[in-house]
Amino acid sequence: MTAPLDPVALAAARRRARLSLVAGVALGSTGHIAAVTVATIVAQDLLGSPTLAGAPGATVVLGAAIGSVTLSNVMARRGRRPGLVAGYAIGVGGALLATLAVITRSFPVLLVGTLFIGFGNSSNQLSRYTAADLAPAARRASAIGTVVWAATIGSVAGPWLVPIASDYAASIGLPALAGPYLVPVVFVAIAAALSFALLRPDPYVIADASAPRQVEARPEDGATAIRDTLRRPGVAASIVALVVGQFVMTLIMTMTPLHMTQNDGNLGAVGAVLSAHTLGMFALSPLSGRFSERIGAVPTIFAGTAVLAVAAIMAATAPPTGGPLLVAALFLLGFGWNLGFVAGSTLLSEHLEVHERTRIQGLADGLIWSSAAAASLGSGVIMAFAGYTALGILGTGAAAIPVLVLRAHRRAIGHHHEHAEAEVPIA
């Protein structure tokens, strides 16, 4: 059993762990986004047809869903550090397989490789909950927002490194399209190494324990205990908010580039819209965290769903070739998602004990990425039969679901917060 740390050593360990988490997400997202950027291009090159070009993107999301559940189970048994390191290591293995797939021109190997790349993204996503564990209840939203913000670095650096890596691969005799998969090999491997070296003691050992207990700790959380936890109003409502936010954002974002190019939009306009969307998704995360702390997680989720609904309407009515209205719509689509993502993650952590968090958080992320896969696949079908405008209408309607669920459980959630404020000792 690890001896308790003195206050100075504990503060230093938490600070080191937070820096490691931020660096890991920055590095991991750089590698992940570089790989995703070329996924459809590589698939079309290998197959000679765009029919299944979206398959590698779908397998990456599927890998993230499977990885979230699998890695959270590893964390529940072994600790946060082994789970995060394992996810990053599997992501590196997937990137190596994807590189081999391009060299040997094997589409099935590419799908296996991208599936494992998704595990690296699972570690990126689960890092936000690890950061939340290290913070007192009043600062959890900011801790989550800071880690989510780190993905901004990857969203900028990942696409920028793609042509550089392609040129490098060609210079050493490899296919140019193999180069972008070398980016996650390097960057995600560094994320794994940093997590292995710096997350000591394990974040579980140095987790903040100031929150009051809602239930007694159990040595093993079986299926019955998990079901009981999922029925808790705050837990169910936060998962609904996270899943619906991801669904609405993915539903509209996935088809926007195709919608633009089908209507003679140029690639420069597509790039501007996607850059604005990425900026909205990540860059304002610290603001979302502070907003959640000041007014509460539930009102922040309400704000996020309102922004999502407005963005969906704007996207549906904007000129399809781009322009300020579509740029603003996709920026707000990203920002609305971010508000709900940070606040929903905070609300989920608030309603779980430390011994419950890992498996439930992994399950929640598994549902989030499953909804993203469903939205990604379904958006193409809806657009083919009903048009892009129908995606905006559907997204607007779906955004109301978290509001209805949260309002239905608001009294129970409010009672929990009153109970928590009464019991948490003032430092």
pLDDT in tens, 15-25: 999 999 999 99
345/143 Cα distance (integer angstroms): 11
Q: Tell me, what's the pLDDT at 299?
A: 95
Amino acid at 266: N
307/329 Cα distance (integer angstroms): 10
pLDDT digits (tens, 9 = 90+) for 199-223: 999 998 998 765 434 444 444 445 6
DSSP-assigned letters across all residues of 85-126: HHHHHHHHHHHHHHHHHHHHT-HHHHHHHHHHHHHHHHHHHH
Within a domain: 205: no
Buried b / exposed e along 288-323 (16+ C-beta atoms within 10 A):
bbebbbeebbbebbbbbbebbbbbbbbbbebebebe
Shared domain check, 270 and 164: no
Shared domain check, 158 and 112: yes
Q: Tell me, what's the pLDDT at 425?
A: 42
Q: How many domains does the chain have?
A: 2
Within a domain: 87: yes
Q: Tell me, what's the pLDDT at 417?
A: 53
pLDDT, the chain, mean: 88
Q: CB neighbours (10 Å) of residue 150?
A: 24
What single DSSP character describes residue 49?
S
The residue-averaged pLDDT of 407-419 equals: 67
From the list 82, 421, 97, 364, the residue with the least C-alpha distance to 237 is 364
Shared domain check, 288 and 139: no
Within a domain: 238: yes
Domain holding 294, by residue range, is 223-427
Please determine, for residue 408, whether its predicted confidence score (pLDDT) is greater than 90: no
Domain final residue, candidates 148, 169, 200: 200
Within a domain: 18: yes
Domain final residue, candidates 166, 200, 234: 200
Shared domain check, 242 and 125: no
Shared domain check, 187 and 265: no
Domain final residue, candidates 142, 169, 200: 200
Within a domain: 215: no
Shared domain check, 232 and 331: yes
Within a domain: 192: yes
Shared domain check, 178 and 237: no
Shared domain check, 193 and 231: no
pLDDT digits (tens, 9 = 90+) for 40-96: 788 888 988 767 777 888 899 999 999 999 999 999 899 999 999 999 999 999 999
Within a domain: 210: no
pLDDT digits (tens, 9 = 90+) for 302-321: 999 999 999 999 999 999 88
CA 338, chain centre distance (Å): 10
- Could you tell me the CATH number of the domain that includes residue 344? 1.20.1250.20
> In the chain, what percentage of residues exceed pLDDT 70?
91
pLDDT digits (tens, 9 = 90+) for 262-309: 887 676 777 788 888 888 999 999 999 999 999 999 999 999 999 999
Q: Tell me, what's the pLDDT at 267?
A: 61
Q: Tell me, what's the pLDDT at 223?
A: 63
Shared domain check, 139 and 248: no
Q: Tell me, what's the pLDDT at 212?
A: 39
Within a domain: 385: yes
Shared domain check, 342 and 296: yes
From the list 255, 214, 248, 420, the residue with the least C-alpha distance to 341 is 248
What pTM does this model have? 0.84
Shared domain check, 305 and 159: no
Shared domain check, 166 and 243: no
Q: Tell me, what's the pLDDT at 215?
A: 40
